[in-house]
Chains A and B, each alone.
Chain A
Amino acid sequence: MARIRISARKALHEWKLYLFVVPSLLMIATFSYFPALSAVYHSFFDWGGGEYKQFLGLGNYRRLFSDPVLWGAFGTIGILIIANIFKMIPSIAIAVLVHRLKSDRWQYWYRVLLVIPMIVPGLVTLFIWKFFFDPTSGLLNAFLDATHLKSVLIELDREVLHWNVFAEGIPIPWLGDPKLIVPSLILWGFPWIGAVGVLIYLAGLQSIGTEVYEAAEIDGASSLDKFWYVELPLILTQVRINLVLLVIGTLQGFGLQFLLLGNSGGAGQAGMVPGLWMFNKAFIAGEFGYACAIGMLLFVFILVLTYFNNKYVRVDK
C-alpha cells in the first residue's frame, strides 16, 4: 500500500500532521544527535567533564594510535566477534530442529520453554555464570572434576597449549588468569541460544510451503541438503540482520566484561575491550575528552563495517 503523496501546497493545510512527528524528533535530537555531535566536538579537547577544557587539536587522536591497551583491546574484540559469529549456529540449529518436529503441540511447548530463560534478568544470568566460574565453589570446576574432563584439559595444556593454567589439584582460575579470560568470555552463555533469535528464525521457517519439501524429497535430498538449500536461504535475511546487529553489538559492548572482570578487564587486562577502555578513561581516569576520541574511533569502525555489509551483503526489502 503506497503512501499518499501530498504536494507542498496541500501540506500547508495539513501542517498539523507535522506535529505528530515533532515530539519523537525532539527526543532523538536531544538525546541521540546532540550527544553524538558533542562527542565529536569534545574529542578534540582535554576535558575533565566540567566547564574547563583545553583545546588539543589532534592530540587525543595521536594518543589513540600509540595506545597499546586500546589496540590490545581491539585484538580481543576481534576474537570475540569471530567467536560470537560461531555462537550464532546453535540458535539456527535449534530453530531448524524444532521446526522439523512432527507434532505442533511439541513445537508450541518448546517455544515456551525457549522463552523461559528470558524471564531471568540479564544481570542475574551474568552473576549466576560468574558464580559458575568461581574456582572454589563454582560448578564448572566441580563438573570438570567429576567428569574427569579436567585430566583432558591438563593433557592438552601440557602437550599443545603450554599455558600452565591447568594443573592437578589446583582449582582452575577461570576469571583469574590472563590466559583463561578470553576462553571464559567465549564459553559464557553456553549453549548460546538466544530466545528472540530462535523465535524469529522459526517464524521465517514456517513460511516454507510443503511443496518445496516434497520437491526436495523427490530429488532425493538428504537432511543436510534440505537445510542447506531449502531452509537456510529462506531465513538468510534474518540471519544477515542478526549478524550485522551482533557484530555492531559486540564491537561496542563492554557490559559483560565490566560485570565479570571489573574496571580494567581483569587479570593482566586480558579482558579489556574498546568500550570498557572508553568507560575506564571517562569514568575512572576522568579523561572525558580522550574517551570521546575512543568513541569516535569505534564509530568509524562500525560505520566501515556497516558500509561493507550493505555493499556485499544485500538485505532484500
Chain B
Amino acid sequence: MNPAPSPAPAGGREGSDWLKHAIIIAILCIELLPFYMMLQISVKDNTSFLANPWLPLPPGEWNLGNLVSGIRLIGPYIANTVFVAVSATGASLALALLGAYFFARYQMPFGRLLWAVFLVLMLMPGVANIVPLFALLKGMGLLNSLNALILLGVAGGQVFQVFLLRNFIEDIPKDLFEAAEIDGASHFQQLRSIVIPMSGPIIGTLAILGFLGAWNDFMMPLIILRDRELFTLGVGLIYLDGEYVKKWGEIMAAYLIASIPLILIFLFTMKLFIRGLSAGAIKG
C-alpha cells in the first residue's frame, strides 16, 4: 500500500488553463487578505495606519518597536501554549498508538465492546461536557493549572487518533509482524520497530493537527485559567481584544508573532503534512 499520492498526471486536463489560474488566483488573494492585512499593519503606528490603511508602508518607515511590544505582550502566552500543545500532543499520540495497536492487531475478547466505546464517543457532542468538566476539574483540584489543559488535550484527541491509527496499522503486512515475533520481539518492541516507522506520515499529520488544535483552543483555557502567567495564546488574545485603547499596529504585530511558531512548523513539515493528509484521506 503506497501511502503517497501518485504524481502521475490525472485526466481532464486539456483546454486552456488561464481561466482556471485566474479564478484560483483571485480567490486565493481574497483568502490571503487577512494574512496580508496582518503583515502590513504590524509595522505601522496608529497615525500612519489611519492615513493609509490599505497599502503597505515602505521599509524605511517601518515601526519595528511594534514587534518588540508584541513580543512583550504575548511572548509568555506563546511559551505556555507551546508547553501545553507539545505535551498534550506527545502524550496523546503515545496513548493512541498503544490503543490502536491493541485494536488493529488482535481481536481480543471484549475487543468489539471496547471499540464500540471508542466509536460512540465520535458521535457525542463535546458541548454538553463543558459544565460537568469544570466541576470535575474543580473536584480534582486542577483548576487554574496548565496540567488540566494537557489532560483535556490528551483525552480529547484519543478517539480521532485511535480511529485513524487503527486503520493504518491494519494495513501493515502481517509478515513483518510474524517475522518479528519469530525473532522473539515483545509487543512493545514490535510497536517500536515496525509500526512507528511505517506510520510516519500519519503520525506526523496527526501531530500537526493536534498541535494546531491546542494552539487555537480558547474556550476551556478561558474557563479554567485564572493567573495571567498561565494564560495560553487563546485567552491572551481575547484579553488583548478587550482593551479600550487599541493600538492596531502593536496588536497586529502580536498576531504576527502568534503565528510565527505555526509558520515555522509548516515550513519544515509542509511536504509531510500534505502527504499525510492525502494518505489519510484515501484511507478514510
Contact = CB atoms under 8 A, between A and B. Distances in A.
B230 interface: no
B99 A3 contact: no
A299 B255 contact: no
Contacts of A130: 241
Interface string A181-221: 00000000011010010011011111111111110110000
A106 interface: yes
Chain B interface mostly helix, strand, loop or mixed?
helix
Given A1-B172, A3-B106, A296 B128 contact: yes
B121 A28 contact: yes
A309 to B, nearest CB: 10
Interface string B231-275: 001100110010000001000000100110011001000100110
Interface in A63-78: none
Interface stretch (B60-68, B196-204, B211-219): B211-219
Contacts of A3: 104-107, 170
Max chain B Cβ within 10 angstroms of own Cβ: one of A34, A97, A106, A121: A121
B164 to A, nearest CB: 12
Given A123-B234, A128-B38, A295 B187 contact: no
A34 B13 CA distance: 53
Contact of A128 (B37, B128, B159, B234): B37
A206 B131 contact: no
Contacts of B162: 24
A10 to B, nearest CB: 9
B129 A39 contact: yes
Contacts of B266: 115-116, 118-119
A288 interface: yes
Contacts of B133: 31, 35
Given A115-B266, A191-B27, A251 B105 contact: no
Contacts of B32: 113, 116-117
Interface in B82-104: 95-96, 98-99, 101-104
B127 A20 contact: no
B10 A99 contact: yes
B141 interface: no
Max chain A Cβ within 10 angstroms of own Cβ: one of B12, B32, B258: B12
A275 interface: yes
Interface string A34-45: 111011001000
A14 B54 CA distance: 66
Interface stretch (A54-62, A154-162, A164-172, A278-286): A278-286
Given A30-B155, A104-B7, A35 B273 contact: no
A223 B23 CA distance: 16
A151 interface: no
A303 B174 CA distance: 37
B152 interface: yes
B151 A100 contact: no
Contact of B278 (A42, A122, A202, A210): A202
Interface in A1-37: 1, 3-8, 11, 14, 16-18, 20-21, 23-25, 27-28, 30-36
Contacts of A255: 218-219
A166 B284 CA distance: 47
A147 B205 CA distance: 42
A5 B158 CA distance: 24
A142 to B, nearest CB: 7
Which 8 A-B pairs give the minimum distances between C-beta atoms?
Answer: A213-B11, A295-B128, A203-B278, A31-B155, A38-B132, A24-B99, A252-B127, A210-B11
Given A99-B12, A120-B255, A208-B10, 12 more contacts: A3-B107, A4-B107, A21-B102, A23-B98, A35-B133, A115-B266, A120-B259, A123-B216, A139-B37, A142-B53, A196-B277, A259-B241
Interface of B: 5-7, 9-15, 17, 20-21, 23-24, 27-28, 30-32, 34-35, 37-38, 50, 53-54, 95-96, 98-99, 101-109, 114, 117-118, 121, 123-136, 151-152, 154-156, 158-159, 162, 170-174, 187, 212, 215-216, 218-219, 223, 233-234, 237-238, 241, 248, 255, 258-259, 262-263, 266, 270, 273-274, 277-282, 284
Interface of A: 1, 3-8, 11, 14, 16-18, 20-21, 23-25, 27-28, 30-36, 38-39, 42, 49, 90, 94, 97-104, 106, 110-125, 127-131, 137, 139, 142, 190-191, 193, 196, 199-200, 202-214, 216-217, 223, 226, 230-231, 237-238, 241, 248, 251-255, 259, 275, 278-279, 282-283, 288, 291-292, 295-296, 298-299, 302-303, 306
24 contacts: A1-B172, A4-B106, A21-B114, A24-B162, A27-B158, A28-B158, A30-B136, A31-B156, A32-B155, A39-B129, A39-B132, A101-B13, A116-B35, A117-B32, A121-B234, A130-B241, A139-B37, A200-B280, A202-B278, A213-B11, A230-B12, A254-B127, A278-B127, A278-B131
